[in-house]
């Protein structure tokens, strides 16, 4: 199944909520440092509730170390970004995909986006709203990827 990657997340409750989603779906979660908080942060722990033992968490000291591991394991890097040219519903997700999400305040830097296989967006019809909350975006992207992968491997 796909894996979730957070590039330099800044807000502890968002990461805690994402960790809870990853625990519930048995999805590996990767955090790329620097983080905007300590992993011992009480708000992070509170948002993740008592599910932390079920989170397959890996932290990477920087982008290059993460990228090296990702390339060794294989699979496509799919960036979720407001700059995406492809609607996430039109992306054909695969079991080996890495779903990459950027910082809450600034998204993904251009050099990181340039190294991705695809850039997808979650459209919002209200032009004045730039983006959704990070934990909501991860849930939307992850569940669509899982839906596609499940039905690809378990046809009706």
32 in a known ligand binding site: no
Q: Are 134 and 20 in contact (CB under 8 A)?
A: no
Cα(9)–Cα(135) distance, integer angstroms: 11
Q: How far is CA 15 from the centre of its chain?
A: 10
102 in a known ligand binding site: yes
Tokens of 116: 């991705």
Annotated binding-site ranges:
102, 122, 131
Annotated binding-site ranges for S-adenosyl-L-methionine:
102, 122, 131
């Amino acid at each position: 199944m796909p894996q979730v990657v957070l590039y330099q997340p800044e807000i502890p409750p968002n990461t805690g909520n994402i960790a809870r989603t990853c625990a519930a779906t048995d999805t590996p979660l990767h955090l790329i440092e620097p983080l905007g908080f300590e992993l011992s942060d009480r708000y992070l722990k509170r948002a993740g509730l008592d599910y932390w033992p079920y989170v397959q968490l890996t932290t990477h000291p920087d982008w290059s170390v993460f990228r090296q591991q990702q390339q060794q394991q294989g699979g496509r890097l799919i960036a979720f970004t407001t700059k995406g040219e492809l609607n996430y519903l039109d992306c054909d997700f695969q079991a080996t995909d890495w779903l990459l999400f950027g910082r809450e305040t600034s998204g993904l830097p251009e050099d990181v986006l340039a190294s991705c296989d695809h850039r997808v967006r979650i459209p919002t019809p209200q032009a004045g709203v730039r983006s959704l909350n990070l934990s909501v975006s991860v849930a939307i992207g992850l569940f669509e990827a899982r839906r596609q992968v499940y039905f690809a491997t378990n046809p009706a």
